[in-house]
Copies of this chain bind each other. A is one copy, B any other.
Amino acid sequence: MEPEGPSRALVMSDVAARAGVSHQTVSRVINGHPNVAPRTRERVERAIRELGYRPNTAARALVTGSTRTLGFVAVNINQYGPAQTLVGLERAARAAGYSLGVTVLDEATAEAMRDALDRFTAQSVDAVLALATYDDAVEALHQVHTPLPLVTVQSGGALEEPAVGVDQVAGARLATRHLLDLGHRTVHHVTGPADSKEARDRVEGWRTELAAVGAPAPECLHGDWTPSSGYEAGRRLAARKRAGEDITAVFLANDQMALGLLAALHEEGLEAPCDVSVVGFDDLPEAPYLTPPLTTVRQDFAELGRRAVELVLARLAGRELHLQPVPPVLLIRSSTGPVPVGSTPAGV
Q: Which residues of B contact A267 (CB under 8 A)?
A: 291
- How far, in whole Å, are A320 and B62 apart by their CA atoms in the complex? 34
Known contacts A78-B285, A263-B289, A101 near B69 by CB under 8 Å: yes
Does A58 lie within 8 Å of B7, measured CB to CB?
A: no
The smallest C-beta distance from A341 to any residue of chain B, in angstroms, reads 23
- How far, in whole Å, are A290 and B228 apart by their CA atoms in the complex? 9
- Which A264-306 residues have a C-beta within 8 angstroms of B? 266-267, 285-286, 288-291
Of B83, B99, B147, B230, the residue contacting A103 (CB under 8 A) is B99
> Does A316 sit within 8 A of B, measured CB to CB?
no
Q: Give me 24 A-to-B residue pairs in the complex whose CB atoms sit less than 8 angstroms apart, sorted by A's number.
A: A55-B122, A56-B124, A58-B123, A59-B62, A67-B123, A77-B87, A78-B84, A78-B87, A86-B86, A87-B104, A90-B103, A99-B103, A99-B123, A100-B102, A100-B103, A228-B288, A231-B289, A259-B289, A259-B290, A260-B289, A263-B290, A266-B266, A266-B291, A267-B291
> Does A118 sit within 8 A of B, measured CB to CB?
yes
The smallest C-beta distance from A302 to any residue of chain B, in angstroms, reads 11
Q: Give residues in A with beta carbon < 8 Å to B.
A: 1, 4, 7, 52, 54-59, 61-62, 67, 69, 77-78, 83-84, 86-87, 90-91, 94, 99-104, 106, 118-119, 121-124, 145, 147, 226-228, 230-231, 256, 259-260, 263, 266-267, 285-286, 288-291
Q: Which residues of B contact A90 (CB under 8 A)?
A: 102-104
Does A57 lie within 8 Å of B102, measured CB to CB?
A: no
Does B69 lie within 8 Å of A77, measured CB to CB?
A: no
Q: Which residues of B contact A259 (CB under 8 A)?
A: 286, 289-290
